[in-house]
Structure 1
Amino acid sequence: MAKDVLIDQVVSILQKAGFDVSERCNIRPGSFDIAARCGDVLILCKVLLNIDGLTEDTASEMRLLANWLSGTPLVIGAKTRDQMLEDNVIYMRYNIVSINPETLYDYFVEGITSFISASPGGLYVSIDGTALKEARLYNDMSLGSLAGAVGVSRRTISKYEEEGMSASIDVVLTLEEILNVELAKPIDILNPSFLVKKNQEKETKSEPKEKSKSAPKIRDLPAPVSPEAAEEYLRESKKKFESKDSNVHGHTHGHAHGHGNAPEQEMLSYISTIGFDVKETSQAPFKAISKDKQSVILTGVSNYNPTVIKRARLLSSISDVIQTESVFLINGTSKVKSVQNTVFIEKNELVKIHGPEELIEVIEERKAPEKTKK
């Protein structure tokens, strides 16, 4: 199965489930392929033929983006290693739920909940420890007698009760038959908290002494400062922005605080200074997310060129689904004020904006004409 076919299948399932789905993000590497929203549910989907192709850096950015946008990261794939993914089985990759399209369909279209998770060694079911203990006491069985009937140790039964430890499918079925009670804990794909916790515990136990050198590729820019310091920064920024040497080359992945592309960092830092928290990205189709108490802005930075027009259309599609604003900060002159709902703001215009309210006003004014065209 080609990846394009798999993505089309995922999009079709989500649309059938009532989701609005964004255009595909053709950015490489990309932290997600599509964004989808249905009511309050927002998911950022990464589609891979083999879920083992998910890297730690990509997963880290997916989790951080989802957290920042109040959504859920989700990996959809066809296989792991040389085996096809099982239907209605939850796989975890870097603390992100990974499933096949059939499981996606069952959960969102049919409302079928999964109970089984895959771990090294096989398939397991998480046990409701409280329900197990109550049922054992109700049936007047000791830990030892229940353990003997199931064929496990007394300590294992104790762990099931105290820690809700996962067990093989056969063990859970045997326990349910003996105690005449449902013990399997359902897995909420949108909130797999106990699976994440278990996965983190396993990683901690197996973690080598030397920690991984890789770090999340999302960074916080400096937080907003005092009004006096902001005014001083605005004056200094204006001088820099008016320099004819400034140049931004598309979607450059420089580092903040004096590294990488200086004009790009200056514009993002300026957004921070006027009152936004700014998180910079490395694999998303936007350079940063800018957020204040009322608004979230997907923020790109670029020269004006044909490529930025295409990226602005993609950014509009994503922001429409995610329900945010979208802006491209343009280093130099822009020939347009907006593309669909993505607003273009030149650097010499940016320096005249002195607060979050003013920036939102500019965005609303410039995207309004686009809404009436059609």
Structure 2
Amino acid sequence: MLARNELIKEINNLLNSEGFETSNVYDQRCFDLIARKKLLILLLKTFTNVDSINETHAEEMRKISQIFLASPLIVGEKSKNGLLEEDVVYERHGVPAICLNTLKNMILYNEYPEVLADRGGYYVKINGDVLKEYREEYSLSLKDLADLAHVSRTTMYKYENGIVKTNTETAMMLEDILNTKITVDIDLFEPYSENEENKDKNLELNRLGYGVISTNKSPFDTVAKSEEEIKSSLMFNMEKNRKIKTLEKMAISLKDLSNITSSEPAFIIKNEKLKESIDGIPVIKSWELKEFGNSKDLLKVIKERKDN
């Protein structure tokens, strides 16, 4: 088994070799690195044991991924039940977890896993349209096919309508009967999206039309997305009585991550004495936010100070 630092190095080398741009490694954060290739953005966290991630950090991973239109992934070696199997997707607090070989198969060969490990065993999702098409082609009723697969007619109806997943044994039996592939690949590179709006309150940014998410285990304090400009996102660090040397270190991380995510970085600062930028990262005074009429006003000032 690889040690965690070796695992991160393997992942970084794999991504770089296939044309991904990767960030610095951010240890002790909710993600280790962010990688990008064209429109695909990956938010990656590594563990030797994938059970090590806690719910709070996983939630932060999901929220950040939603803002950046990224795909969150945990890559590990084992769980409490043993080694992670190749081409099987495990899930920890709503974030997919896979082994390194599964990631390699997706990156190198465009081969996605089909099997999801869940309580009680391994499951797959069936393409209901294909199942129905081939069932009718063989002139089989729902009950006929259900009897052949040793399930109930109601269960077969649910398979065809995408209501439930099936265990791998039943799926293999159905594929043998119908002589065709009916299982669906799990696209782990699909940008993460939640139905619920997980947005925090920042009165001034909210007023300007931004959905805001605060973070505790990231190199930035806040990320925000304009409701009007859906592809535009901002990344902020707040002063929080931090020393200038600390802010300068944060500026390095903001520049690194903004390049990968195509977001605009900035500091929101109360201190009137600080200049308009810190190592190239624009500084917005907190009182200035009250003077902006909308998100475009804020973006204009950020870009002006970035250019200067």
TM-score in terms of structure 2 length: 0.84
* Deviation (angstroms), 1:347: 5.2
2:269/2:285 contact within 8 Å kept: yes
**2:65/2:191 contact within 8 Å kept:** no
C-alpha distance in 2, partners of 1:312/1:364? 16
Q: Does 1:219 align with 2:200?
A: yes
Tell me, yes or no, if the aligned pair for 2:22 and 2:260 is still in contact at 8 Å.
yes
Aligned to 2:216: 282
| Cα distance in structure 2, aligned partners of 1:16 and 1:112 | 17
Question: Which AA in structure 2 matches 1:87?
Answer: E
Structure 1 residue 53: deviation in Å?
A: 1.9
Q: Which segment drifts farther, 147-156 or 5-14?
A: 147-156
- Structure number with bigger Rg: 1
Q: CA deviation at 1:272?
A: 4.6
Consecutive unaligned residues in structure 2, runs of 5 or more: none
1:296 is the counterpart of 2:233 = yes
Number of the residue aligned with 2:303: 364
Question: Would you say the 8 A contact 1:89–1:116 is kept in 2?
Answer: yes
Q: Which stretch has the larger CA shift, 115-124 or 271-280?
A: 271-280
Secondary structure in 1 matching 2:161: helix
- Would the alpha carbon gap of residues 161 and 368 (structure 1) be closer, same or farther in structure 2, given more than 3 Å must change? same
State whether structure 2 residue 28 is matched by structure 1 residue 24: no
Per-residue deviation, residues 249-299 of structure 1 (Å, max 9, x unmatched):
xxxxxxxxxxxxxxxxxxxx4x55556443322222211123434442200
In the superposition, relative to structure 1, how do residues 358 and 182 fare at CA in structure 2: closer, same or farther (>3 Å)?
Answer: closer
CA distance 1:145–1:320, shift in 2 (3 Å)? same
Q: What are the within-5 Å matches in structure 2 for residues 195-344 of structure 1? A: 219-222=200-203, 269=204, 271-273=205-207, 276-292=210-226, 293-294=228-229, 295-302=232-239, 303-332=242-271, 333-334=273-274, 337-339=277-279, 341-344=280-283
Identity %: 29
The 3 A distance-change label for structure 1 pair 273 and 146 is closer
Matches of 1:290 and 1:134, distance apart in 2? 45
- Residue of structure 1 in register with 2:5 after alignment: 4
- 8 Å CA contact 1:91–1:118 kept in 2: the answer is yes
Contact preservation (8 Å) 2:67, 2:233: no
Does the 8 Å contact 1:304/1:330 carry over to 2?
no
TM-score (norm 1): 0.71
Q: 1:86, CA displacement in angstroms?
A: 0.8
- Quote how far apart the aligned CAs of 1:191 are: 3.0
Partners of 2:276 and 2:74 lie apart in 1 by 36
Structure number having the greater helix percentage: 1
Q: Residue type of the partner of 1:329?
A: I
Q: Which moved more, 1:2-11 or 1:329-338?
A: 329-338
Helix, strand or coil for the counterpart of 1:77? strand
Residue 327 of structure 1: how far off its partner (Å):
1.2
Equivalent residue letter for 2:274: S
Contact 2:113 2:185 in 1 (8 A): yes
Displacement of 1:36 in angstroms is 1.5
- In the TM superposition, residue 150 of structure 1 has moved relative to its aligned partner by 2.8
CA drift at 1:58: 1.8
User: How many pairs are equivalent?
Assistant: 299
2:65 corresponds to which letter in structure 1?
A
Cα gap change, 1:154/1:300 in structure 2, threshold over 3 Å: closer, same or farther?
same
On the 8 A contact 2:41/2:69 being kept in 1, the answer is yes
